[in-house]
Structure 1
């Protein structure tokens, strides 16, 4: 009898094993995208080197613009051509509208409960509607124009008072970071953290540092997202770091919400901030618009609108310092359209097309998110004629697309003029610094306005040159965003034609 049971279970185990293998083979896509040789368990993780976007671009050049990789247990579709990106974000836009669940991102986004991380569905659509209509609509952006104007003039005032008639040396990275943080905090909570009338400088520095730390903790840097067995031992100490970070961030955000709630009840208060808008929604639908939802909206705006905008300004100014002829052309355009009797305003930006071309060319060469935030397929589909199984993570390599010699003449050269003759609708999927489809960045219009107004004002008011004879170093740093490896420093002095205007600030 014992022999019978041993015999029975032995063949049952073989039968189940064969059934499992057969199921995997039958369910396997018949026409998979090309894929480099992989290793057991880790897949292609051994191929990933920093900077990731350049490593993936090299793989695409070798194996093709639609490439299937395996990061541990996760299948990853890498797309590096406009046609493949178009298929993902038009024909298959709903299928790819979900986000993968990364451990750090889940905890830092209130259990994937933000507009950036929530799964596609009614909840995400409502969050998207709120951010698009209530926060980033044309009307709201116009209403917040005085905030941008005042913060940029405050920076201009600081630089003028620091300067004299000779060239002075200045580090610009921190100045741009403080500017964008003030703009976003004024918009969100009516508070400024740097400069005059600041509240708590140390608190601001800590939270800004927390934002950057959050970027470093998400994505492919966390091996436990792709090798689940590592989660049992808290590999890299990630869990402890994420818990500490989220505790600090949540306390800061809750403080902002509580302050605005108290201020909202005070008579005579006329400020309308993002938190005020969210608190009004909370009054009518308290069961849905909880404090957690409000904090999720805030953290996305701060994370997406501070560091990335500051980085774009830093890259743009670095490019202009390396190309003084382009800098002179921008300056001439501003002098003609605005003059020397007043400072640039939001309404002037439409009259400065060449400045806008400079910003676009900066975003082409140095997209602050060189790899779009990953998407995840909800069902089987085809891309580029290949079968893509459900549950596949999709990564679009903007760095590769924006520098593809088949799409751009002299792709690595800084030539803003290339956008003068290119109509926006023809840019299509070969230029998409803010993403595309349902999950494209809703704050693109605000970001370009901040960058345009800030750069335009600095160029209008000051003369700029490099610190030395050598060109500014243009190497990128590490992160899911694209920082400069070496923070930008420059020499500046007030333009003689603007001294009278600047002295009145």
Structure 2
């Protein structure tokens, strides 16, 4: 009897939510009729067009097929949330150039709350005073030409270390071919460069020996970073259907909280080490890493976030934005070179030049290229 009453209560709650959603859609459509972009047919109550986006076809192709039918600008409903889809160059320019400030806002999301330090992570925060402050800090202090110039020896050292380890690996194989999982090597290279620039930490001491404590810690951090990036891109049911917010049906919120705790623990230990070093007066003034700079520049709590939270969120923003993107791009670049022998030979010849700060000229399909041009 008790189970039946619970089922009836849940069914009644679901029916009320369904009716309320239909009422909101109908009232909203009457108020702004003619102002919204067209909407493809086939939307269902509660889930909207979500059922149209599943299947074997990539979402981009499904949306492209919709654009062919209703036009380059249209609305879809992701659950109970409206979304604007644009697929023309002119519309993209209008949104992100002419009206870029209007589109700089970010929607409230479970990822921003649980993974993004309650929207303190730069990528999850909306345009406003806090966003402008962090953007200014990153642009003028952390990623300025002067700061990167002081840290360029970090990149040179790590690349040199990788080359030496690869040479050692080949030599130990008595001149025979040695199998190398290049994606792993590139990930370690990228991870070392980023963590040294941000926190002064070098986790992979030798690329040939990755079973020590520091390397295992790096592998755990890298695993959590990948889990973070995956969770940040997965639709959360409670975001799309708000009345399900009290139910963590797929354990998505629990997973995000676990990932956030793991990465927060790492960032917290970095800040503690830097703070203790500052108290001892052993801070290097000529080669400050990013956390050193943030401890000096961010003196107080700001815009609803604690000082330590802002530093951790900004450090994680830089790591998340630079780690996987850089390693994937480098891996793809190397794979393309290996599959195009003529381009690989050309690159090797260029590296063999003694004075190659700039090329005196280059020939592409019989045409001379000007000095200092980029090829895409």
TM-score (norm 1): 0.61
1:52-71 deviation per Cα after TM superposition (whole angstroms, max 9, x unaligned): 44544454455543232210
| 8 Å CA contact 1:254, 1:295 repeated in 2 | yes
- Equivalent-residue separation in structure 1 for 2:338 and 2:66 (angstroms): 33
Q: Partner of 1:215 in structure 2?
A: 229
- Equivalent-residue separation in structure 1 for 2:306 and 2:26 (angstroms): 48
| 8 Å CA contact 2:21, 2:46 repeated in 1 | no
2:52 matches 1:47: yes
Indicate how the Cα distance of structure 1 residues 229 and 352 shifts in structure 2: closer, same or farther if over 3 A, else same. farther
- Equivalent-residue separation in structure 1 for 2:110 and 2:98 (angstroms): 29
Indicate how the Cα distance of structure 1 residues 332 and 121 shifts in structure 2: closer, same or farther if over 3 A, else same. same
| Structure 1 segment 297-446 matched on structure 2, within 5 A | 297-336=314-353, 338=355, 348=357, 351=359
| 8 Å CA contact 1:147, 1:183 repeated in 2 | yes
Q: Partner of 1:243 in structure 2?
A: 257
Choose from 287, 297, 300 the match for 1:285: 300
- Equivalent-residue separation in structure 1 for 2:59 and 2:324 (angstroms): 19
Choose from 33, 39, 63 the match for 2:37: 33
Deviation at 1:22, TM superposition (A): 7.3
Deviation at 1:166, TM superposition (A): 3.3
2:240 matches 1:226: yes
1:15-55 deviation per Cα after TM superposition (whole angstroms, max 9, x unaligned): x9999787423432515334332222211111224744454
| Structure 1 segment 124-203 matched on structure 2, within 5 A | 124-164=131-171, 165-196=175-206, 200-203=214-217
Q: Which runs of 5+ in 2 are unaligned?
A: 1-19
1:201-232 deviation per Cα after TM superposition (whole angstroms, max 9, x unaligned): 22221111111111121234322221123322
| 8 Å CA contact 1:278, 1:289 repeated in 2 | no
1:302-353 deviation per Cα after TM superposition (whole angstroms, max 9, x unaligned): 11110111011111112222222222232233334657xxxxxxxx4x6599
| 8 Å CA contact 1:102, 1:218 repeated in 2 | no
| 8 Å CA contact 1:182, 1:192 repeated in 2 | yes
2:123 matches 1:116: yes
Choose from 257, 268, 284 the match for 1:254: 268
- Equivalent-residue separation in structure 2 for 1:304 and 1:244 (angstroms): 20
- Equivalent-residue separation in structure 2 for 1:18 and 1:182 (angstroms): 53
2:223 matches 1:206: no
Query: Which structure exhibits the higher relative contact order, with contacts defined as CA atoms closer than 8 Å and separated by 6 or more residues?
Result: 1
- Equivalent-residue separation in structure 2 for 1:79 and 1:19 (angstroms): 27
Indicate how the Cα distance of structure 1 residues 420 and 105 shifts in structure 2: closer, same or farther if over 3 A, else same. farther
Deviation at 1:84, TM superposition (A): 1.7
| 8 Å CA contact 2:162, 2:189 repeated in 1 | yes
| Structure 1 segment 36-75 matched on structure 2, within 5 A | 36-37=40-41, 38-49=43-54, 51-60=58-67, 63-75=70-82
- Equivalent-residue separation in structure 2 for 1:236 and 1:22 (angstroms): 31
Indicate how the Cα distance of structure 1 residues 353 and 101 shifts in structure 2: closer, same or farther if over 3 A, else same. farther
- Equivalent-residue separation in structure 1 for 2:142 and 2:183 (angstroms): 27
- Equivalent-residue separation in structure 2 for 1:103 and 1:116 (angstroms): 14
- Equivalent-residue separation in structure 2 for 1:326 and 1:39 (angstroms): 52
Deviation at 1:189, TM superposition (A): 1.0
- Equivalent-residue separation in structure 1 for 2:28 and 2:351 (angstroms): 63
Deviation at 1:157, TM superposition (A): 0.9
1:165-209 deviation per Cα after TM superposition (whole angstroms, max 9, x unaligned): 333221011111111111111001111011249872222211111
1:123-179 deviation per Cα after TM superposition (whole angstroms, max 9, x unaligned): 110000001111111111211100111111111111010014333221011111111
| 8 Å CA contact 1:193, 1:201 repeated in 2 | yes
Indicate how the Cα distance of structure 1 residues 59 and 334 shifts in structure 2: closer, same or farther if over 3 A, else same. farther
CA RMSD of the aligned region, Å?
3.4
- Equivalent-residue separation in structure 2 for 1:222 and 1:289 (angstroms): 27
- Equivalent-residue separation in structure 2 for 1:59 and 1:157 (angstroms): 53
| 8 Å CA contact 2:109, 2:239 repeated in 1 | yes
- Give the structure with the higher percent helix: 2
Indicate how the Cα distance of structure 1 residues 219 and 18 shifts in structure 2: closer, same or farther if over 3 A, else same. closer
TM-score (norm 2): 0.80
**Number of equivalent positions:** 340
Q: Secondary structure at 2:44's aligned position in 1?
A: coil
